[in-house]
Amino acid sequence: MKRGPTAEGGKPRPASPGASGPREPQVAAFATAKHGSLAEPARTTQDAEPGGRLRIGGYLPASFSDYPGRLAAVIFTQGCNFRCPWCHNPGLLDPQGPELYNGEKIIGRLAARKGKIGGVVISGGEPTLQPDLLPFCRRLRDLGLAVKLDTNGSRPQVLAQALTAGVVDYIAMDLKAPWEKYQQLAGVAVDPALIRRSMEMIAASGIAHHFRTTAVADLLSPADLAAIRALVPAGSSYKVQPFRQVPPSA
């Protein structure tokens, strides 16, 4: 389960009242119901700015739990193409939501902490929606930091670019549900073929990775979890993480 982001100054970013509880899935404006797949954003990684710039909605300067085996900073990108009913980071959903952190300042902070942390996790939101994801990752690696990417696997073409460019060291990919329940759990129309392509690509990449599922008791049964586990490629690690209700903000 992704950890909640903070706003500038280190204060927790408040969640919308009741946002983490179950609700009816919605088909987002950028989902193409006709084909049951997710449309591309207006810009792509080919349009990336040379220096790399992300829309960042949250930042944790240090985490012991988000990057296996490393003390890492966590960057939360702004914008997601899923609408999971249990999402506990609702403030990160809107691609045009507030950009609470300046990427250049974060790069500066990370450079100043070189040798004190071992990596950076880029989470979200959904990081693969960011046109400048790859050059930003490259800048992190140029600082000597390992890069872990958290993704929902909906954009295998971006994962392919990242793997080919060699700018990520670890990938954690969410598996939301068995195929027949994917739309319900993702909250938008999803083409399972895209998810499957990402799984296969990550499993064959040779880099450290794991697949994971957030177990929401009201939405996923033990049989569902068993079905998801059966989807995991042989030799890949799989983790089931318990859903924890986030109390509404006052």
pLDDT digits over 14-38, tens only? Answer: 333 233 333 333 222 222 222 233 3
Q: Are 100 and 13 in contact (CB under 8 A)?
A: yes
Residue 88 pLDDT grade (very low, low, confident, very high; cuts 50, 70, 90): confident
pTM passes above 0.85: no
Q: Provide the pLDDT confidence category of residue 4 given band limits of 50, 70 and 90.
A: low
DSSP conformational letter for 117: B
Tell me what pLDDT residue 135 has.
96
pLDDT at 11 over 50: no
pLDDT at 233 over 70: yes
Amino acid at 81: N
The shares of helix, strand and coil residues in the chain, as percent rounded to the nearest 5, are 30, 25, 50
By residue count, the chain amounts to: 250
Residue 155 has pLDDT above 70, yes or no: yes
Q: Which of 18-32, 125-139, 226-240 has the lowest mean pLDDT?
A: 18-32
* Residue 248 pLDDT: 52
C-alpha to C-alpha distance for 97 and 123, rounded to whole angstroms:
16
On whether the CB atoms of residues 121 and 208 are closer than 8 A, the answer is: no
Please state the separation of Cα 9 from the chain's center in Å.
23
* Mean pLDDT of the 212-232 span: 96
Q: Kindly indicate whether the domain formed by 31-39+47-242 is annotated with CATH number 3.40.190.10.
A: no
